[in-house]
Every structure is written in structure tokens, then in C-alpha cells.
């Protein structure tokens, strides 16, 4: 396939799957190489690469690699759209290069509005027996941040029982002179549409089904396909309908929305592949009732952005102010999509909880004086947004020998203590002492409290 034209699709499963890594925190890459691994969480919007292995004569292995770039990971460019550069290298155990690919892509504004939108870059090579190492690096054009993935891939070796299992949204038997469409993976006479992690949407009157493909090589036993949910519990489905050896359809009508895994068993060998079922409203577009950014004016967008300083990473800073209003909307949608604890559902609980806390902080901690300060910008509001309500509060509104103060104590997990003092006597409380290393204490906090109040704070 011409590397300059890449289809949109989903990611191939198989023992080469990389544990997705969130760009914002650069977590360590974890391999998902065991057949027994459950893949329930792999539909989060994360950059990932995966490999599917097929044995060939001479004990070589044909390896199909796909790297998936969800658009929600890309920051908008100042004028329009987004972009990325992806590099992929594979080396053998001696360090010799087996594959090198480079892609540069521009992403249109309209594509950025699709919460499930993604680009998939595909490459293939033939590996000798043994192990090789895959390296991938994704550069976001706007933020210039880079995520690197590294994963070993083991060749199938001599006389394997089966290839990896591949799922797809479509399947057809191609003729000898048919050419593969842009979004198809051709394996012999079988053409798979958008192979990888199929995303099926439940529709009234529809009968969703998922296509599958594998190659069985020996006499290890009859292949069997089973289905399980995200918790690993078995799910009953009708028998698979085979249309060619190792290729066919599995009827998944009636499944509720969620993540599922199909397991191929050939003798003692197990191969897993995931897919997801979505509710129709989960893909209803950007400006749904759950999207607070679509109808917002630029002034409102700016007010929704401002409190995010408590959450954003260094790579996310400085981009939003350079954007036009539509770019600001896309930035905010992508920011929260990266933090969505339940991707693929209409609700983003993390976003809802944060803005509910903003409203609560503004109600409880707003400060007056020459200029009204919204509650979320105060010291107490900031701590409330980070940790919620304290477990215990020591309040001294009229302490006598010192200024009014109060102490918040958090006992959930690590013990944290925050002492706020009304330095102006106008109800404007400032943080003067904490044992939280992410916050700063005033150097003279002991003098501000005085010896008696100091002892009380430490004993509390």
C-alpha cells in the first residue's frame, strides 16, 4: 500500500499490543503480550501501536503493524486543524534495522470534532525467527510534545497452532484481480475493512456483527471462539458464521454498550482481540446537550479554561490563548477527552465533577475587597478543587492573640494539613502553612500564628 495514503480505521490486536500511554503523564509503556490479558480499558483515547503476526513458510513471520493516533490527543494549531509526525522503527535482536517508516499528517477541523476520530498508520514486514523490537514516536505539531513507545515482538516460531486473531468492521472475499480499498487489510483472499478494534454502534432495527480472521496452521485442535465482557465474564452469542477458512462473522446483536473481548482457542493456545459497542448518542457529534463548549461564547470559553491551570501539564500550557474561538472549543474538548474516565459514553464524569467543584468553590470561598476574587482563585478554593472537602476542620474565627485562622486536615491516603489565616480581617484567608509538597508555606508562618496557635495547629 502507498504510504502516502493511509486509511482511517482501528488498531490491530494481538501479542504485539502496547499498553496505551497517556500523553499528558508519559506513563511507562507496559506490554500486553499474554493471551490471557483482558483488554477492557484499551478504548481510552490514547496513542498505541500493535502488531498482528502470521506464520509463513521457512519459519518466518509476517507482521502487520498499525499505530493509532486519536485526534483528541492533538492540540489545535493557531490557524486551523492539527497535525502530527510519527516515526516507526523495528530492529532485530542484533540491532539491525528491519523496518523504518515516517509519516507527517495534517488533520482537518471537522475531523477534530469527532470524539472517536483517529488516524491509523500501517506498515508490514517479514521477520526471521526470534525477537525484534518496535520503537514508535509521536510528535504533536502544536504542543511539540513527544510520546515514545517501545515493545518487543516475538516471531511465531516453528509450526505454531494459530496466528493472532484480528477483528474488523467488515469482511469480503476478494477476487484475484481485486485491489484493496484504502481502509482494507488484504490477507490472501480475505479483505478486512477497518481492522483492529471495531467500534460498533447500536441502532434500532440493526443487527451489529463483528468480522474476524485468523490462520490455523497445525492439528492442535478445532478452533473455538468465545466472548467475554470487560470483567472477564462469559457472554453467550450465536455460533460464528464462517465464510472462508478462519474468516467469518460473529453476531453481537443485543449487547449493551461496553468493551468486549473475543478469544480464539486452538488447543492450549489463546489469542484475544477487543471490540467496543457504543450507544448511538455517544457518537451524536460535538454539539450535543452534554457539550458545554459548543454554544459557549468566547468569553465563557475563557472562563471555563482559566481554572484548568490546576490540572494542565506543561505541554498543554500556552496553546489556548493563541487559538480562535473554534480552536478554543476543540482544545477544551480534547483536554477533557484525555481525562475522561469512561470514554465512549455520553458523560465525562471528570469534567462534570470539576466544574461542579468550581461552582461550589465560587459559592463558598469568594473573597471581597477592592476586587472581587472568584472562589476557585483563592487559596482555599484551590485546595478544595484539588482535594475536595477536608475530613476535619479546626476553625478559630476569634483566636484572641493572633489573626483568625482555620486548619483543614485530610486523612484519606497521605495525611495533609493546610492552615489558612485571615491576614486582612476582611475574610480573605491565605495559605500560610502546609505539609503538602505541592504547595508553599510562608517562611514566617510560626510568627504569624504565635506560639500557642502554632502548638494547636501542629497537634491538630
Sheet holding 97-107, edge to edge: 97-107, 82-92, 131-140, 146-154
Number of H-type helices and E-type strands within the chain: 6, 23
C-alpha cell at 83: 497535525
Instruction: Give every CB contact of residue 239 below 8 A, 6+ residues apart in sequence.
Output: none
**Strand, coil or helix: 102:** strand
* pLDDT tens for each residue of 189-242: 999 988 876 777 766 556 688 999 999 987 667 889 999 988 889 998 888 999
Mean pLDDT, rounded, of the chain: 81
Q: Grid cell 475493512 — which residue?
A: 193
pLDDT score of 23: 28
More confident residue, 2 or 168: 168
Round to whole Å and give the CA distance between 262 and 242: 15
DSSP, res 47: B
* Bridge partners of residue 407, in order along the sequence: 394, 419
Mean pLDDT computed over 152-161: 86
| Alpha-carbon separation of residue 51 from 13, 38, 124, 417, 435 (angstroms) | 7, 17, 9, 48, 47
10 Å Cβ neighbour count for 447?
Answer: 12
Q: What is the DSSP string of 235-302?
A: E--PPPEEEETTEEEEE-TTPPSEEEEEEEEETTEEEEEEEEEE-GGGGS-SSSTT-SSTT--HHHHH
Beta strands in 23-145 (DSSP E): 48-56, 60-70, 82-92, 97-107, 118-127, 131-140
Round to whole Å and give the CA distance between 196 and 190: 15
34 pLDDT band, cuts 50/70/90, is: very low
DSSP, res 428: -
Kindly report the backbone phi and psi dihedral angles of residue 18, in degrees, each rounded to the nearest multiple of 5, phi listed first. Answer: -95, 135
Indicate whether 181 pLDDT > 90.
no
Percent of the chain exceeding pLDDT 90 equals 33
* pLDDT tens for each residue of 364-418: 888 875 557 889 999 999 999 888 889 999 988 887 778 999 999 999 888 999 9
Residues 352 and 376: beta-carbon distance below 8 Å? no
Q: What is the DSSP string of 122-187?
A: EEEEEE-SSEEEEEEEEEETTT--EEEEEEEEE---SS-SB---EEESEEEE--TTPPPPTTEEEE
Round to whole Å and give the CA distance between 150 and 89: 10
Instruction: Give every CB contact of residue 340 below 8 A, 6+ residues apart in sequence.
Output: 44, 45, 348, 349, 350, 351
| Domain residue limits, the chain | 367-460
Indicate whether 32 pLDDT > 50.
no
For the question of whether the overall pTM of this predicted structure is more than 0.85, the answer is no
145 pLDDT band, cuts 50/70/90, is: confident
Beta strands in 303-428 (DSSP E): 392-396, 405-410, 416-422
Task: For residue 272, give the nearest of 10, 56, 16 by alpha carbon.
Answer: 16
Sheet holding 190-193, edge to edge: 170-173, 190-193, 184-187
* pLDDT tens for each residue of 241-277: 999 999 999 998 888 888 899 999 998 889 999 888 8
pLDDT score of 33: 29
Give me the helix-helix angle, 379-387 and 349-365, nearest 10°: 150
Amino acid at each position: 500500500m502507498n504510504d502516502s495514503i493511509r486509511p482511517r480505521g482501528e488498531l490491530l490486536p494481538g501479542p504485539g499490543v502496547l499498553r496505551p500511554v497517556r500523553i499528558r503523564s508519559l506513563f511507562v509503556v507496559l506490554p500486553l503480550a499474554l493471551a490471557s490479558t483482558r483488554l477492557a480499558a484499551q478504548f481510552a483515547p490514547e496513542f498505541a501501536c500493535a502488531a498482528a503476526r502470521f506464520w509463513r513458510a521457512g519459519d518466518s513471520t509476517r507482521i502487520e503493524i498499525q499505530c493509532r493516533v486519536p485526534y483528541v490527543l492533538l492540540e489545535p494549531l493557531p490557524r486551523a486543524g492539527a497535525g502530527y509526525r510519527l516515526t516507526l522503527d523495528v530492529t532485530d535482536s542484533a540491532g539491525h534495522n528491519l523496518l523504518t517508516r515516517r509519516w507527517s499528517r495534517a488533520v482537518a477541523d471537522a475531523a477534530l470534532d469527532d470524539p472517536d476520530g483517529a488516524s491509523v498508520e500501517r506498515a508490514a514486514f517479514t521477520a526471521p525467527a526470534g525477537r525484534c523490537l518496535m520503537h514508535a514516536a509521536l510528535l504533536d505539531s502544536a504542543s511539540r510534545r513527544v510520546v515514545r513507545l517501545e515493545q518487543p515482538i516475538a516471531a511465531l516460531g516453528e509450526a505454531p497452532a494459530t496466528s493472532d486473531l484480528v477483528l474488523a468492521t467488515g469482511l469480503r472475499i476478494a477476487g484475484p484481480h481485486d485491489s484493496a480499498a484504502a481502509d482494507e487489510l488484504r490477507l490472501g483472499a480475505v479483505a478486512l475493512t477497518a481492522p483492529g478494534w471495531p467500534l460498533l454502534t447500536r441502532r434500532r432495527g440493526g443487527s451489529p456483527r463483528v468480522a474476524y480472521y485468523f490462520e490455523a496452521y497445525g492439528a492442535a485442535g478445532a478452533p473455538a471462539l468465545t466472548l467475554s465482557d470487560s470483567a472477564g465474564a462469559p457472554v453467550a452469542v450465536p455460533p460464528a458464521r464462517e465464510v472462508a477458512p478462519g474468516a467469518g462473522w460473529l453476531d453481537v446483536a443485543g449487547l449493551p454498550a461496553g468493551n468486549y473481548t473475543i478469544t480464539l482457542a486452538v488447543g492450549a493456545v489463546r489469542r484475544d482481540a477487543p471490540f467496543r459497542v457504543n450507544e448511538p448518542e455517544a457518537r451524536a457529534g460535538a454539539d450535543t446537550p452534554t457539550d458545554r463548549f459548543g454554544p459557549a461564547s468566547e468569553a465563557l470559553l475563557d472562563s471555563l479554561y482559566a481554572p484548568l491551570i490546576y490540572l494542565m501539564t506543561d505541554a498543554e500550557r500556552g496553546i489556548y490563548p493563541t487559538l480562535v474561538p473554534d480552536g478554543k472549543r476543540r482544545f477544551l474538548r480534547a483536554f477533557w477527552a484525555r481525562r475522561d474516565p469512561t470514554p465512549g459514553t455520553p458523560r465525562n464524569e471528570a469534567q462534570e465533577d470539576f466544574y461542579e467543584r468550581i461552582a461550589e468553590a465560587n459559592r463558598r470561598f469568594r473573597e471581597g475587597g477592592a476586587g472581587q476574587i472568584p472562589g476557585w482563585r483563592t487559596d482555599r478554593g484551590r485546595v478544595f478543587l484539588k482535594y475536595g472537602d477536608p475530613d476535619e476542620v479546626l476553625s478559630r474565627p476569634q483566636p484572641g492573640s493572633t489573626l483568625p485562622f482555620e486548619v483543614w486536615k485530610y486523612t484519606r491516603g497521605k495525611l495533609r494539613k493546610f492552615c489558612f489565616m485571615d491576614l486582612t480581617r476582611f475574610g480573605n484567608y491565605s495559605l500560610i502553612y502546609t505539609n503538602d509538597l505541592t504547595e508553599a508555606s510562608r517562611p514566617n508562618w510560626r510568627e504569624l500564628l504565635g506560639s500557642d496557635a502554632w502548638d494547636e495547629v501542629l497537634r491538630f
